[in-house]
Amino acid sequence: IRKVTLGRDSVIFSGYLPPNFAAFYSKENNNIKLNKPIAYSNNSIGFTFVSNSYQHADIIAYSTMLEGFDRQWSEWNKQTERNYTNLPEGKYVFKVKGKLGNQEEYNISSYEFVILPPIYRTWWAILLYFVLAAAFFIISIELYTRRLRNANLKLENTIENRTKQISEQNFEIKEQAKLLERTNKELEKLSIVADKTTNAVIITDHKGNIEWLNNGFKEMFDYDLEEFTTTFGNCLLNTTNPSYVNKILLSAIRNKTNVNYEMKLTSKKGKEMWIHANITPITDSNNRLQKLIVIDSDITALKKAERETQIQKEILEEQNKYITAGIEYAKTIQQASLPLKSVTDAYFDSFLLYKPKDVVSGDFYWFTHIEATKRSAAKTIVAVVDCTGHGVPGAFMSLIGSRLLSVIVNERRIVAPGKILENLDREINIALMQAQTDNADGMDVCLCCIEHVGNNAFNLTFAGAKRPLYYTANSGMVHTIKGSRRRIGGKKTLQSNLPFEETTIEITTDTLIYLTTDGFIDQNSADRTRFGTRNFLNNLQQGSKFELQKQKETLFSALSTFQASEEQRDDITILGIRMKKSI
């Protein structure tokens, strides 16, 4: 045996024993024993062997066997190497023998070694497993016992509480019976009080027959007891009552429950009035109906106020109807000012996520295409704009912005993005008279001019007013081009002197371009956390591998999940485009 290696190239035996080999090896004739066990991580071992006869090396054959692993000697062959991989733990003896042609076999050489088990199969690891299993079993028993004990305690407490509740309820019933008895005894005293009130009070027997009327009744309706019973009958249930009143009275008598109703009446002198009647049944200790107490309150003034309120409500509803119709018409006008997809489809594929906070929006998107001439290539100019505010004020700003962009680009033929923004800033200041007033309205703009320079190649020039541009290259990574810190319009500040910087990049028909307002990124969740730029870019990154419509659905789903039931805080606009080969 000339060499023994562990793993790929770790040599532990080189064919001879060093002078101090006794610490590591034992040797007896051609048998070598490795005294130091081999770690399980080195359980791949290789042997190199050769005959001591070099004259006939080409006809010498070898046979090997690894005791503890091989069941029998290998076939005779001329290979001088034997490798074993992933040996399990245990004691092994590698043996090799040779022969020259058909002659007798040479003496056997051997190499004995031991492979240690992995840590998790050592005796102390197994002991630890047993201890852990026993501990788990004991803890489980203890927890189960504790749970049963707590359940028993809870059941005992429940029984105790229920018993206490029943006792308290019995006591309350007895007290209520005593209270009812005292209440009935006080009825005569209460009649004195009833006689002094300005409300009309009627006391009847258990069938509804009138027994007593107070002075307030006479003052309200101009009838005393005799006149009233002669004119309308002795019973509250009579044919002159509306059917719903008799139904309510019967309910109070049969169910012995307190009821209320409203009714329009006419006094003896012909005065029309609205009354609110409250009927209270009086029962004895056995819950038998004894009397009915009816208290009528004059609510004519209240009814008049309710009618006036209803008239005001109807007026407001009518006004709101006209306002809503106006806003819907404003929405129609705003929608008409936005580019049609059937027009933009001729120049680029796109998706649009457009979510106004209100009926109309302060966001708008703008597009124009300038055909090629002898001096210049064809150009497509696209913008997404976020105006100050939202709703109707923002919508008015969007109409002004859209019109001014059309004048600057289509009429004045200004196509450089930086110059477009400079002109837009100047025109907004003029249109809103911001130099003469305290008006501070303005816009944030993401604008790019895309110039066709080849069949599949374009130059994109971007300028932004406080808005960036996002795009993906062939790698799929989302890149950001920052806009200028200056906005369009508003009061003059130090940043108003900053130029609108332009950035030009080369793109192809594989490039995805995203123009956005800040509504998506600024949307908050229930815990008041913003969706955020990083989260937005991650969603763009993940969705960029999909078709454009699928990207829109993915973004909308992410926003809906994040927003949940929270109110939308701003207008949201995201325009994603991919240029076509021929524009």
Given this model, what pLDDT does residue 23 score?
A: 66
pLDDT of residue 426 exceeding 90: yes
Whether residue 488 sits in one domain with residue 441: yes
Whether residue 377 sits in one domain with residue 262: no
Mean pLDDT across the stretch 286-314? 87
Mean pLDDT across the stretch 441-463? 93
Given this model, what pLDDT does residue 459 score?
A: 95
Beta strands in 307-441 (DSSP E): 348-355, 363-370, 379-387
Mean pLDDT lowest for which of 17-21, 128-132, 368-372, 535-539?
A: 17-21
Confidence of residue 235 (pLDDT cuts 50, 70, 90): confident
Whether residue 322 sits in one domain with residue 270: no
Given this model, what pLDDT does residue 583 score?
A: 46
Mean pLDDT across the stretch 419-436? 93
Q: How does pLDDT run across 79-135, given as a tens digit for each residue?
A: 989 999 999 999 999 999 988 877 778 788 999 999 999 988 888 888 898 999 999
pLDDT of residue 536 exceeding 70: yes
Q: How does pLDDT run across 540-571, given as a tens digit for each residue?
A: 999 988 999 999 999 999 999 999 999 999 99
Domain that holds residue 332: 302-337
Report if residue 307 sits inside a domain. Answer: yes
Beta carbons of 44 and 9 less than 8 angstroms apart: no
Given this model, what pLDDT does residue 456 score?
A: 85
What pTM value is reported for the model? Answer: 0.53
Whether residue 307 sits in one domain with residue 353: no
Given this model, what pLDDT does residue 428 score?
A: 93
Q: What is d(CA 339, CA 108) in angstroms, rounded to the nearest whole number? A: 93
276, 310, 337 - which closes a domain: 337
% of residues, the chain, pLDDT over 90: 40
Whether residue 383 sits in one domain with residue 306: no
Given this model, what pLDDT does residue 163 score?
A: 85
Report if residue 146 sits inside a domain. Answer: no
Confidence of residue 193 (pLDDT cuts 50, 70, 90): low
**Cα–Cα–Cα angle for 133, 134, 138, nearest 5°?**
120
Beta carbons of 259 and 252 less than 8 angstroms apart: yes
Whether residue 281 sits in one domain with residue 344: no
CATH number of the domain enclosing 415: 3.60.40.10
Confidence of residue 395 (pLDDT cuts 50, 70, 90): confident
CATH number of the domain enclosing 93: 2.60.40.10
Whether residue 529 sits in one domain with residue 392: yes
Q: How does pLDDT run across 355-364, given as a tens digit for each residue?
A: 999 888 889 9
Whether residue 333 sits in one domain with residue 311: yes
Q: How does pLDDT run across 153-191, given as a tens digit for each residue?
A: 898 888 888 888 888 888 888 887 777 677 666 655 665
Given this model, what pLDDT does residue 186 score?
A: 65
CATH number of the domain enclosing 214: 3.30.450.20
298, 322, 347 - which closes a domain: 298
pLDDT of residue 582 exceeding 60: no
As a whole number of angstroms, the longest Cα–Cα distance in the chain is 153
Report if residue 557 sits inside a domain. Answer: yes
Beta carbons of 579 and 347 less than 8 angstroms apart: yes
Whether residue 262 sits in one domain with residue 114: no
Q: What is d(CA 344, CA 33) in angstroms, rounded to the nearest whole number? A: 84
DSSP class of 47: E
Given this model, what pLDDT does residue 326 score?
A: 67
Report if residue 145 sits inside a domain. Answer: no
**What count of other Cβ atoms lies within 10 Å of the Cβ of residue 51?**
17
Whether residue 348 sits in one domain with residue 323: no
Confidence of residue 424 (pLDDT cuts 50, 70, 90): very high
Mean pLDDT across the stretch 217-224? 86
Q: What is d(CA 417, CA 424) in angstroms, rounded to the nearest whole number? A: 10
**Number of domains comprising the chain:** 4
Whether residue 405 sits in one domain with residue 342: yes
Mean pLDDT across the stretch 471-477? 83
Report if residue 134 sits inside a domain. Answer: no
Given this model, what pLDDT does residue 329 score?
A: 66
Whether residue 347 sits in one domain with residue 326: no
Q: How does pLDDT run across 487-506, given as a tens digit for each residue?
A: 999 888 877 889 999 999 99
Q: Crossing angle of helices 533-543/548-563, nearest 10°?
A: 140
Of 187 and 248, more confident:
248
Report if residue 133 sits inside a domain. Answer: no
Mean pLDDT across the stretch 268-286? 87
Q: Crossing angle of helices 417-431/391-406, nearest 10°?
A: 130
Q: Which two tokens stand for residue 220?
A: 């309200």
121, 136, 163 - which closes a domain: 121
The answer for residues whose C-beta is within 8 angstroms of residue 432's C-beta and 6 or more apart is: 400, 439, 441, 489
> φ and ψ at 106, to 5 degrees?
-75, 170
How high is the mean pLDDT of the chain?
Answer: 87
> φ and ψ at 85, to 5 degrees?
-120, 150
Report if residue 230 sits inside a domain. Answer: yes
